[in-house]
Structure 1
Amino acid sequence: MDTSQRRRSIGIATFFIIASAVGLLAAFVLLVEKLQILQFPDSKVSCDFGLVVQCGKNLASWQGSLLGFPNPTLGLIAWPVVMATGVAILAGARFAKWYWRSFNIVALAALGFVIWLIWQSIFFLGTLCPWCMVTWSVVIPLFWVSTLWNLKHGIWTANERAREFGARLLGWSPTLTFASYLVVAVIAQIQLDVLSYL
């Protein structure tokens, strides 16, 4: 591996570690808040800041436990894998294509789940959950970065044009991430008029 490739590997490894640390923190706090609600149903959770910006309603809803257990449990399972991947890359590990493909599929599934949660939160619950938004904020770039990284490195296809396309777009990951945030913010503002509650 040449110096430039090593530098890029360090970059994505660092991103994985930071993103997973943030996601893990959000999952942990949300699970603690959920347990508090279960133990003390009338208690107010620390992330309730008003009618719209709150997490209590989300945690108490069926959407907050879609698979029969609190959604944050999924984060406590998945984020350590992302962190371990980043740490392993820093240590010089190289993964097989099947691993990267599996990683990408899980990132896509996570994005799909997050999009569904965003939709449910804005259009059905009428809330913006602060710690949920922290989770959204790291899942979205994780999807863009891992997908474009895999495309660039020929994980999905050896087609040179596809690899060049992935390499070109990988540099635009921050822009794609910001655009995704902006779409969510605009939808939330139109539907919930969030600014009037701040």
Structure 2
Amino acid sequence: MPQTQTHTHPKGLAIWLITAGVIGWWAAFQLTVEKFLLLENPGSKAACDFSVLVQCGANLDSPQGSVFGFPNPIIGLACWVAPIVVGMAILAGARFANWFWWLFWVGFVFAISFVAWLIGQSIFAANLHTLCPWCMVTWAVTIPSFFAVTVHILRSGVVPLPAGGRRVAGRLMTWVPLMTIVGYGIVIILAQIELDAVPNIWRTIQIGLGWA
């Protein structure tokens, strides 16, 4: 007998999905524009190239920047629409079948896996060793979105858990911010160990503000 689904109108999750979708889409749009400008003006610098470490150009021009044969930002332009639509639908009163939530979660599994790979490439690949500003914006919204959607399918009955398990999962939603901070912390630690990122980024900010 199918379980009764709870949390069918998660307004908090809906608002976050819309917010994350808009931010992620805007970051993808900015990277797409930069890619077009670089193609139109070979040898030029991207507007988001602030230093050797903090830049978009190297990432956009690298093989890692077009993993599937076209610029990665196009994936973001297409895929970040989904969280916006789902969030708006939830706020409008829509209820989704379990199979839909499974597909939606699988999309975020792909997103977090791809982001983790790109983070590793940016930090450790010999041809990069850079931190792309708009890429980092994408990372910043993908990580909590993955955690939030994962916890939601656990608490809502999409995953067949007993009532006690769903209650525990429901309490986990309040821990999503902490899980996100831990995720950010891992990225920062890796970047600091490999790239000495923190002082380099701080100096880039100082130069940008005219403090140095």
Structure 2 residue 53 is matched with structure 1 residue 45: no
User: CA offset at residue 194 of structure 1?
Assistant: 1.2
What does residue 179 of structure 1 align with? 182
Q: Which has the larger helix fraction?
A: 1
Note the residue ranges of structure 2 that are not aligned, 5 or more in a row. Answer: 1-6, 204-212
What does residue 116 of structure 2 align with? 115
| TM value normalised by structure 2 | 0.88
User: CA offset at residue 35 of structure 1?
Assistant: 1.1
Tell me how far apart the structure 2 counterparts of residues 148 and 9 of structure 1 sit (CA, whole Å): 12
What does residue 151 of structure 1 align with? 154
Q: Partner of 2:10: helix, strand, or coil?
A: helix
Note the residue ranges of structure 1 that are not aligned, 5 or more in a row. Answer: none
Q: Partner of 2:78: helix, strand, or coil?
A: helix
User: CA offset at residue 158 of structure 1?
Assistant: 3.3
Tell me how far apart the structure 2 counterparts of residues 133 and 58 of structure 1 sit (CA, whole Å): 12
* 1:43-98 superposed Cα distances (whole Å, 9 cap, x missing partner): 11010010101010000000000000010111111111110000000100000001
User: CA offset at residue 38 of structure 1?
Assistant: 1.3
Tell me how far apart the structure 2 counterparts of residues 27 and 117 of structure 1 sit (CA, whole Å): 14
| TM value normalised by structure 1 | 0.94
Alignment of 1:155-174 (within 5 A): 155-174=158-177
Dislocated runs of 4+, deviation >2 Å: 158-162
Give 1:50's aligned amino acid. S
What does residue 62 of structure 1 align with? 63
Tell me how far apart the structure 2 counterparts of residues 74 and 157 of structure 1 sit (CA, whole Å): 31
* 1:19-49 superposed Cα distances (whole Å, 9 cap, x missing partner): 0000000000001101111111111101001
Alignment of 1:1-198 (within 5 A): 9-124=10-125, 125-197=128-200, 198=203
How many pairs does the alignment contain?
Answer: 193
* 1:131-151 superposed Cα distances (whole Å, 9 cap, x missing partner): 000000010011000000110
Tell me how far apart the structure 2 counterparts of residues 182 and 60 of structure 1 sit (CA, whole Å): 28
